[in-house]
Amino acid sequence: MVKAVVGANWGDEGKGKITDMLAETSDIIVRFQGGSNAGHTIVNDYGKFALHILPSGVFYNHTTSIIGNGVAFSVPALFKEVNDIVEKGVPKPKILVSDRAQIVMPYHILFDAYEEERLGGKSFGSTKSGIAPFYSDKYSKIGFQVSELFDEDILEEKVERVCQLKNVLIEHLYHKEPINPKELLNTLHEYRDMVEPYVCDTAAFLREAIKEGKNILLEGQLGTLKDPDFGIYPMVTSSSTLAAYGAIGAGIPPYEIKSIVTVVKAYSSAVGAGEFVSEIFGDEADELRRRGGDGGEFGATTGRPRRMGWFDCVASRYGCKMQGATEVAFTVLDVLGYLDEIPVCVGYDIDGEVTRDFPVTSRLKKAKPVYKVLPGWKCDIRGISKYEELPENCRNYIEFVEKELEVKISMISNGPGRHDIIYR
């Protein structure tokens, strides 16, 4: 059975925690898009970890972790992460890397930084992990597939050709040091030696696993609102964040994805620039940021303070619909226990008209939040494991959100740990 774990919002919904939890009963966990630009924070028996490229199922002995063909694969990032977790006592994970995954090149990271510098104040707030230049090159057909590392003739010729092109931009647009093709080739040889033991046709491996009835988890990065087609374009990421893309980024038939667990956060947070209708500021935002997540809402990769906001029914309902959510995991609800009253955005006022439909970016820019205020529950709900034991106002909040989302909330996460979960 194939299950996807994906985000309905701007990312940082707690997908890592849900994946880590569901991995207990899974055989294979696949990353199918994105790269090491975002992070998942996971708290389990081994400690607290920030994973960027490794799937969040690496903490179990029985799982195989796959870097799918859709991933922006940073070779050094993968091995650094593996070393980090092994140093902290986690058993060495079983990893497979798709022979069709493409490689984040050192110049992708440089181009990301150069472009942000060139754009100055108009920058996208990139994490500078090379993701946008990587995907641009992939679709311009000048990317490097893992399989190409093993064909020396192709590799040498391609390195020369690509360097010529990149160096024109480096010299004349960015005025920086040109790339040395020999050095680049050496780096790629190092990458080749590092990945060789892990490379295979992961799509074939997954096909076989499906046939054998294995449990497979597809782990998404970021959320619907960062999808290049359906998100807040252009302030989006460069690969699709939707469950549907899981079929492509992992190489499995779309009809095999039977369950789409969509992770929705009990309040809003976002990193980087872009429209954010229910955003809050000042002390109100500072307090939620400080209390949020597990030890504050700061980026797992960058440490940047996240932008904060109230729960947005319009964006989250849309987020669930575009994912094709079959169920919702509602996360970080425990964080809201300090509030007397909790505003929830139930509509967007655009030019005097209120809508419940999430609009395109040009209209979104004009949207003002319409709030409904729900009563808080004023207590700590961590440690509760039965739905009926939650305070009434807390259940009311969940049920209100569920009605707005139009999808069943099957899990409620009330703490960062593996076992902080309430099934309904």
The site for ligand GDP (CB under 6 A) is made up of 7, 11-17, 38-41, 43, 293-294, 300, 331-332, 334-335, 413-416, 420
**What are the contacts of 123-126 at 24+ separation with CB within 8 A?**
123/273, 124/234, 124/235, 124/272, 124/273, 125/235, 125/271, 125/272, 125/273, 126/37, 126/272
- Tokens 């509509």 belong to residue: 347
Q: Is 151 a catalytic residue?
A: no
Closest distance of CB 323 from ligand GDP, Å: 13
- Least distance to ligand GDP, CB of residue 263, Å: 6
Distance in angstroms (rounded) separating the CA atoms of residues 303 and 235 = 19
User: Quick one: 251 or 416, whose CB is closer to ligand GDP?
Assistant: 416
Tell me, yes or no, if 112 is annotated catalytic. no
Gap between the Cα atoms of 269 and 276, Å rounded: 9
Choose the catalytic residue: 40, 99, 108, 312.
Answer: 40
Question: Please, which residue, 178 or 376, has the CB nearer to ligand GDP?
Answer: 376
Task: Report the residue number, 127 or 145, with the smaller CB distance to ligand GDP.
Answer: 127
- Helix, strand, or coil here: 302? coil
Residue 166 Cβ vs ligand GDP, minimum distance, rounded to whole Å? 31
Sequence-distant (≥ 6) Cβ neighbours of residue 66 within 8 angstroms:
28, 29, 30, 31, 55, 95, 96, 97, 98, 202, 205, 206, 250
Q: Give 106 or 417: the residue with its C-beta nearer to ligand GDP.
A: 417
Sort strands 368-375 and 268-270 into parallel, antiparallel or unpaired. Answer: unpaired
Judging by beta carbons within 10 Å of its beta carbon (0-12, 13-18, 19+), is residue 388 exposed, middle or buried?
exposed
CA distance 132 to 290: 30
Decide: helix, strand or coil at residue 187. helix
Cα angle 249, 245, 146 (rounded to 5 degrees) comes to: 15
CA dist 276 and 268 (Å) reads 9
Is-contact 144 158, C-beta < 8 A? yes
Whose structure tokens read 């992770």?
263
Using the minimum distance from each CB to ligand GDP, give the nearer residue, 37 or 202. 37
Nearer to ligand GDP, 144 or 230 (CB): 230
Catalytic residues: 12, 40
